[in-house]
Amino acid sequence: MALDQESFELLKMSLDRFIQERLMPAEDVVEESDDVPSDIVDDMRALGLFGLSIPEEYGGIGLSMSQECEVAYALGHTALAFRSVVGTNIGIGSQGILMDGTEVQKAEYLPAIASGELIVSFALTEPDAGSDVASLRARAVPDGGDYLLSGTKRFITNAPRAGAFTLMARTGESGAKGITAFLVPASLPGLSLGKPDKKMGQRGTKTCDVHLDNVRVPATNIIGGVPGRGFKTAMKVLDRGRLHISALACGMASRIQRESIAYAQQRKQFGKRIGEFQLVQAMLADSQAELLAGWSLVQACARRYDGKPPALGDPEISMQASCAKMYATEMVGRVADRGVQIHGGAGYINEYKVERFYRDVRLLRLYEGTTQIQQLVIGKHLMRSE
């Protein structure tokens, strides 16, 4: 699956213009209001951003992973809240349905997800199951032809905006094999939302708890129709999500570099522009080399991903996605830190963008698997290989 090159170039041109002319000027509004203005969300729908990764037959644009990474890289150049609005529809919310759903589920859900009419969230994490997903406790108990779902899901991105959830609950034995993925409409009785999370950064992104109190879900809403496959579905979705996040991290590193270079070119100290000092140039050079290394790694891993049908899962691809996620998100943390350093005291003041980006990028090393989880995935894979 891929969009032809000519159409993709046109899409990228419109997107770049949209980022420059609509999103960047609205960054302060997002920061101050802690929300993304609804007219911008409407424009995102019109541009097709919600359906980037959904095949054309279901009303999406059908980008390849490499193309999706280029889009994530472009969106990384502005407040991360904008990408977050569309992020769950492009990635972790929709991909379980696409990879493992039945034809009926795909036909029912994907067109509305692609158009952005339906926002879909990914509900995996729980208060006591973060990195250790296999220990999750939300229960799904069979009742007639239905399941009754109970439990709490935590830090669920876009939950306040969501019309449906791809939600993992336990239908069987302890561990990974007892986990099932369900499609859960947000309107079902017994489903309620917690208070909005107050986060360190990424203002404008919406996360909260999702509480399930005997929510009756038909068995036909099990993704793929077979219980016990939810853990693998979640892991495959995360492999893809991790590549997307690494591209986003590189985009944000590039933006922080731009801000830092612009500052170094105009700020004067000791009678010179600070960018003329070699110690400042050294920081910029380190960031530039790391940014290029990260982005090259992400592109190479995305190309490799495109060579393999995603529904199958592949330990080599998981390992590569974890390498990309680990390197790119750690890298942008270092770039943001240097960005603040280059700005000096101004970098600690919120009228300069680097102060905000420094806080925003911190999350990239945590969600969709911490750096330590990426190390585990990589290490496990290496120890298994001959």
> Where in the sequence numbering do the catalytic residues fall?
368
Using DSSP, state whether 210 is helix, strand or coil: strand
Is 376 a residue that touches ligand COS (CB under 6 A)? yes
Selected binder of ligand COS within 7, 14, 20, 131 (CB under 6 A): 131
Instruction: Give residues with Cβ within 8 angstroms of 183, minimum separation 6.
Output: 97, 101, 105, 109, 164, 165, 166, 167, 217, 221, 223
CB 285, min distance to ligand COS, A: 33
Shorter beta-carbon distance to ligand COS: residue 53 or 254 = 53
CB 318, min distance to ligand COS, A: 4
The helix (run of H) or strand (run of E) holding residue 152 is strand 146-157
Is 134 a residue that touches ligand COS (CB under 6 A)? yes
DSSP 351: T
Whole-Å CA distances, 59 to 50, 166, 281:
10, 20, 47
CB 381 within 8 A of CB 315: yes
Selected binder of ligand COS within 100, 209, 360, 368 (CB under 6 A): 368
CA proximity to 370, closest of 322, 333, 315: 322
Tokens 């049908």 -> residue? 309
Rounded to 10 degrees, what is the CA torsion of 298, 299, 303, 306?
60
CA proximity to 255, closest of 8, 10, 72: 72
CB 131, min distance to ligand COS, A: 5
With vertex at residue 269, the alpha carbon angle to CA 266 and CA 274, rounded to the nearest 5 degrees, is 50
Classify burial at 307, counting beta carbons within 10 Å of its beta carbon; exposed 0-12, middle 13-18, buried 19 or more: exposed
User: Which residues lie across from 210 on neighbouring strands?
Assistant: 153, 193
- Pairing between strand 191-193 and 179-185? unpaired
Which x/- pattern over 190-229 shows residues binding ligand COS (rule: CB under 6 A)? ----------------------------------------
Shorter beta-carbon distance to ligand COS: residue 44 or 133 = 133
Selected binder of ligand COS within 66, 84, 95, 125 (CB under 6 A): 125
Candidate ranges 7-15, 140-148, 235-243, 295-303; the one touching ligand COS (CB under 6 A): 235-243
Is 375 a residue that touches ligand COS (CB under 6 A)? no
Is 40 a residue that touches ligand COS (CB under 6 A)? no
CB 24, min distance to ligand COS, A: 26
Selected binder of ligand COS within 22, 232, 267, 273 (CB under 6 A): 232
Candidate ranges 17-25, 78-86, 130-138, 245-253; the one touching ligand COS (CB under 6 A): 130-138
Is 373 a residue that touches ligand COS (CB under 6 A)? yes
Is 305 a residue that touches ligand COS (CB under 6 A)? no
Shorter beta-carbon distance to ligand COS: residue 175 or 218 = 175
Q: In the range 308-327, which residues lie near ligand COS by CB under 6 A?
A: 313, 318
208 vs 125: CA distance, rounded Å: 11
Is 156 a residue that touches ligand COS (CB under 6 A)? no
Shorter beta-carbon distance to ligand COS: residue 18 or 231 = 231
Selected binder of ligand COS within 119, 138, 215, 238 (CB under 6 A): 238
Selected binder of ligand COS within 70, 100, 209, 239 (CB under 6 A): 239
User: Which residues lie across from 180 on neighbouring strands?
Assistant: 169
**Residues in binding contact with ligand COS, number by CB under 6 A:** 20
Shorter beta-carbon distance to ligand COS: residue 37 or 313 = 313
User: Which residues lie across from 150 on neighbouring strands?
Assistant: 139
User: Phi/psi at 351 (nearest 5 deg)?
Assistant: -80, -10
186 vs 245: CA distance, rounded Å: 26
Q: What token pair was written down for 15?
A: 């997107």
CB 209 within 8 A of CB 215: no
CB 266, min distance to ligand COS, A: 39
- Which stretches of the chain bind ligand COS, using CB under 6 A? 124-125, 131, 133-134, 176, 231-232, 235-236, 238-239, 313, 318, 367-369, 373, 376-377
